[in-house]
Each structure stands twice: as C-alpha cells, then as structure tokens.
Amino acid sequence: MAVFAANWKMNVSPEEVEGLVKPIVDFANGRSDTVILCPPSIYLERLNTLLSGSTLHFGAQNCYFETSGAFTGEISPVMLKALGATYVILGHSERRQIFGETDALIAKKVTAALDNGLKPIICVGETLEQREAGQAFSVVESQISVAVAGNETALKSSGFMIAYEPVWAIGTGKVASPEQAQEVHAGITAQCQALFGDVYVPLLYGGSVKPGNASELLAQADIDGFLVGGASLSADDFNSIIAA
C-alpha cells in the first residue's frame, strides 16, 4: 500500500473539476492505497461532495498560521478543516521560491495545521546548485529539522508525511533517478527514526513523476508514494501511477 497525492497547483477550471475527479474515484475507491487530492482551495467544498462516501482524501496546497483575523488573501487552517480537508501541503518549493516562504514560517504553519487537526505534508528539496555543491541531503535535513522543531510529539500521532521534491525535478521533466531519490529518502528515514522513533512517516517522492517512471521509483526501499503535479491533471495518468 502506497500514498498517491495529487497537487493540482493553480490549474483546473470549475468546469473541469468533476471530469477529473470522477474517474479517479471510480478507479481508486476501495484500494488499500492512500489517495489524496489537493486542488486549489476554492474547490475544496466540491471535493468534499465528490469524494463523500469514498476512501479518497483531500487537502489544501497551503494555509496561513493564524486561525482568523486581518490577513487579506490568506486561508485559515480552521476553514480548511471545516470544509472537510484532511491534509495540507506545507513548504512546497514553489511557496518557498516564488512567495519567499522561509523554514521558520513553514514551522509556524506546521504548528497551526497540527493545532487544527490537519495532517501536514511537509515538502523539502534541494536546488540544482545545492545538489551540484554536494549539499542535497544537508539542505533537506535542515529543512526538516526546522519544520518539525518543537512539534515532534504532536507530529508522531498526526499522520503527517514528508515529500522529497528536488527543485530541479519539479515540472521540468527531469526526474531524479531511482538511486538519487532513494539515497535522499534513506537519509530522511534515518532522520525520522532519530526524531520520531518507531512511528511510520510515509516518505513521498515528487518531481516529474509519470506513469512511465512510477514503478521503478516505488520499488525503492524508502519511497512510500508520490506527490504528483503535472501528471495529476490527467485522470488516466494519475490512475496509471496509482496502478504502478
């Protein structure tokens, strides 16, 4: 059993939501895998209806760390929870790079998500420059340490996940080789054992996952599933990845 999370990013029109979701529910409902759809937050309410009675879950792509107040344009974790969301993606590299989110801000969001009963999917990953400088794992290790600091106990019982997404592989068509991904995942497994003991933390790989490379990646010892961007916008492709 594996985890398959779809990150639609800022894609899919209101007219397309149902046509994308229904074939995924038809295929994935009742499987032992954990399937999570993360649409733009404006569609969460519709996902709540479309997924009701199925074994699929849904979540948001981001949230703020305050629960309410004068924070124009932000979305509260309380609101996500009230709309039925189970998960929230935090620290995606696009949030870090385009919107300037820091490790410290992401840590606050992790706290807020946990306080409000959401399961964080914490994203980490190195840039090409960092990888070429031999810093891939040290970058990831430090992103994880800061994101979880002070919340180790709450995280243990939360059902949270970590997604390793090398920045150079996201949306570029350049997938990490199974060996490259496994090497970092093995390091994260060891770090999680030190931080969380025996608690199982699903480790997802993300970055140009496609039907054609999914099974080889999933065969790696420390890869428990995927966070899928581009290929999650096609029900056929996403279902083929689940079938892997």
In the complex, minimum distance from the CB of residue 170 to ligand PGA, in angstroms, rounded to a whole number: 4
Per the residue annotation, which of 57, 126, 165, 185 is the catalytic one? 165
Could you give the maximum distance between any two Cα atoms of the chain, in Å?
A: 49
In the complex, minimum distance from the CB of residue 85 to ligand PGA, in angstroms, rounded to a whole number: 17
- CA-to-CA distance for 66 and 93, rounded, in angstroms? 21
In the complex, minimum distance from the CB of residue 209 to ligand PGA, in angstroms, rounded to a whole number: 5
Whether 92 is catalytic: yes
In terms of CB distance, is 121 or 156 closer to ligand PGA? Answer: 121
- CA-to-CA distance for 126 and 128, rounded, in angstroms? 7
Per the residue annotation, which of 57, 92, 94, 126 is the catalytic one? 92
Which residues in this chain contact ligand PGA in the complex, by CB under 6 A?
7, 165, 170-171, 206-209, 227-231
Side chain identity, residue 157? S
In terms of CB distance, is 156 or 210 closer to ligand PGA? Answer: 210
In terms of CB distance, is 101 or 165 closer to ligand PGA? Answer: 165
| Helix locations, the chain, DSSP H | 17-28, 44-50, 77-82, 93-98, 103-115, 128-132, 136-148, 152-156, 178-196, 211-218, 235-243
Whether 132 is catalytic: no
Yes or no: say if 187 and 223 are a contact pair by the CB < 8 Å rule.
no
| Catalytic residue list | 92, 165
